[in-house]
Amino acid sequence: MSEGLIRQTTAACPANYSPTPSGRLTCIRFVSDVGNRTSFSAARSACQADGGDLLRLNAGNFDQIRQLADANKGTPACDFWVGAKEGNTDGVWLYLNGDSISPNIFFNPMTNPVGNGANACGKLAEGDGFYLHDGGSCTDNNGYICQAIKIN
């Protein structure tokens, strides 16, 4: 784990979860073992079974999430499913509760967020520096990042 991350006590996170950086009151879990890589829907179900959901991207800690994704990417490196879906319009991105995502915050500044058709499942792509990316299929076997509500 890198120095410089603002850490909270781990006491309140569920087993296998760690506090999110930057004081966000949630806990996160990176799943990257080759045998546990799975589709977007199965990843979401696994997070929900923990009482959480796929990670909701947050501008305040996104750079640190990207660093943690790189540190937890496994071998061979995986992409990570996160809690975002593209709508029926190419380039329009939504959180899982339907809230809109500011279109450019989570994309590689060198990458156009419009492309590859509509209805993509959100992933942080290893080949794109762990920025949000809409390539591939929702049924690809990827790692994933769960977020659980902090228990206290």
116 binds Ca ion (CB under 5 A): yes
User: Coil, strand, or helix at residue 44?
Assistant: helix
Dihedral sign (CA 81, 86, 88, 91): negative
Count of residues making up the chain? 152
Residues 77-96 interacting with Ca ion (rule: CB under 5 A): 90
Question: Which window, 28-36, 39-47, 103-111, 114-122, contacts Ca ion (CB under 5 A)?
Answer: 114-122
Query: Least separation, in Å, of the C-beta of 116 and Ca ion?
Result: 4
Query: Least separation, in Å, of the C-beta of 113 and Ca ion?
Result: 8
Query: Least separation, in Å, of the C-beta of 9 and Ca ion?
Result: 39
In whole angstroms, give the CA distance from residue 95 to residue 85: 6
User: Coil, strand, or helix at residue 67?
Assistant: helix
Task: Name the site residues for Ca ion (rule: CB under 5 A).
Answer: 90, 116, 120, 134
